[in-house]
Amino acid sequence: MKKITITFLVIFALVLLVLAACGRSSDAAPTQTQNYTVTMGGTTFNANSLTISKGSTITFTSDQGAVHNLVSGSNGQANPEAGVPDFGSGGQALPSGKSWTTGPWNTTGTFHVTCTYHPTTMTLVVTVTG
């Protein structure tokens, strides 16, 4: 009888542990938003692609003598993709030594940023993860 009671108590305790574990909320850390930096040289970005977390921003910095005009789209054409922060009417002009920070990227997906003055060498693919 004593053996059955102990076995029952052990099984009961295990069932309680399993049920408690099923009811727990996720311990996963929330996605960390941050500001990413993309540097622009004379006719190139310092990266061809960038993966960022949802809610993050990107600061574009022009560090050489060229003027750049950034737009949402590809091939140097402003073609705003749904979910991309506002690049303004006609894009964001950045002379040498200046920076511009986008609004938060709040939509997951793959998007494009290009320079209207350097469309073949300045195309950035931005992947936003949840």
**pLDDT tens readout for residues 15-68:** 444 444 444 444 444 567 899 999 999 999 999 999 999 999 999 999 877 899
Q: Which residue has the higher pLDDT, 101 or 12?
A: 101
The mean of the pLDDT values for the chain is 83
- The predicted structure's pLDDT at residue 31: 60
pLDDT number for residue 55:
96
Residue type, 130: G
pLDDT reading at 119 higher than 70: yes
Q: Is the pTM of this model over 0.85?
A: no
**Using 50, 70 and 90 to split pLDDT, how confident is the model at 8?**
very low
Domain ranges within the chain, ordered by starting residue: 35-129
Q: Mean pLDDT, to the nearest integer, of 95-111?
A: 95
More confident residue, 14 or 59: 59
Give the CATH number of domain 35-129: 2.60.40.420
How far is the C-alpha of 12 from the C-alpha of 34, rounded, in Å? 46
